[in-house]
Each structure stands twice: as structure tokens, then as C-alpha cells.
Structure 1
């Protein structure tokens, strides 16, 4: 029984570390397609685009994957789905890590 509990605990911890597997430096290098709307540091250039700076990495990663996989179909999906279409899970994690580490600027 102890082994079963231990194995379950290790699986849980392992899955949590997988969620935090993004590389912020790699994300910065991959962020070129994001900057036109969201700014180089995740502070959007126009009010119609959301700021990515300072958002939780898990949220950003999930949002990118949801656009990519067609699970988000709201108004911005028309723009975001093509941007996310060719991103791998690692790309999504890297971008999320980068933008989550940026500071939100007060306007």
C-alpha cells in the first residue's frame, strides 16, 4: 500500500513539474510573432490586445494550446488560432514562461 501511495505522489509531482517546464529564454526567442499585438515584453501596444506580461504561466500555456487545438472559438480565435497552429507543447510552455516573467507596466 505504501508503494501505491508513493507512486501516486511521484506521478502528481512529476506532472506538476511538467507544467512548469517552460524555458523563458527560449520563449523570448520564439516570441517574434507575438510582438506585433502583445509587445516585445507582453505589454500590448493597443488596448484591444490583452497584456501577457505577468500572467500566470499555466494560464498562458493553456490558452495557447486551446487556441491551437480549436477549443477557444471566441472573437479573438480568428486571429490567435493561426498564430498558435504550428506551436508545439514545448513552444507553448516556453512562451508562457517568458511572458509570465515580464512586468506589467502601468499606463
Structure 2
């Protein structure tokens, strides 16, 4: 479940959540967990995917044209999520 201090749900979260989960726990094979990652790291990674400096075609396509404000919202959202522990997983 999303934490209260994560702020409002980012409008662009849906596409990210398909692979990374709304609460940042990977849903697709190979999709890393984003919950609790450092916000500055997530922001940088998203910029690098958007700008093509990280050559992962799937991520580049998924991010598409994302504004700095949207990028910041996603980085903040995922940084504020709590990673699930083994006992939390079904």
C-alpha cells in the first residue's frame, strides 16, 4: 500500500506500475523494485532513460516524452514507498 507522505498519485504512474507495481515492487520478470530507492537516483535514471543515455528500448518507449515535473513526481512517489519484506509477499 502507498504511504501517505508520498503525495498525490502521479498521473503517469499507471504505465510504470504495469511492470514496477504501484508500490514499487516489481510485477514483471526482470523489473527491479523501485520502492525506497533514493529519490535523486530515481530522478537521474528516469532522465537517462528519457534522453537515451540508458539504452533500454522498453524503458525509453515506456517513458516517452515525460516532463521534468512528471519525472520528479514519479521519483518522489517511488522513493517514499516501503519495500515489501518476504513475509509481506503472498
Shorter-normalised TM-score: what interval? 0.7 to 0.9
Q: Greater helix share, 1 or 2?
A: 1
Instruction: Please state if 1:31 is matched with 2:2.
Output: no
Are the structure 2 counterparts of residues 26 and 36 from structure 1 closer, same or farther at C-alpha, using a change threshold of 3 Å? Answer: closer
State the shift of 1:33 in Å: 0.6
Provide the aligned length of Structure 1 versus Structure 2.
81
Unaligned residue ranges in structure 2 (runs of 5+): 1-5
* C-alpha deviation, 1:26, in angstroms: 4.8
Unaligned residue ranges in structure 1 (runs of 5+): 1-22
One of 21, 26, 44 as aligned partner of 1:62? 44
* TM-superposition CA deviations, 1:12-52 (whole Å, max 9, x none): xxxxxxxxxxx84152x320111110011111123511001
TM-fit CA distance, 1:60: 0.5
* TM-score normalised to structure 1 length: 0.69
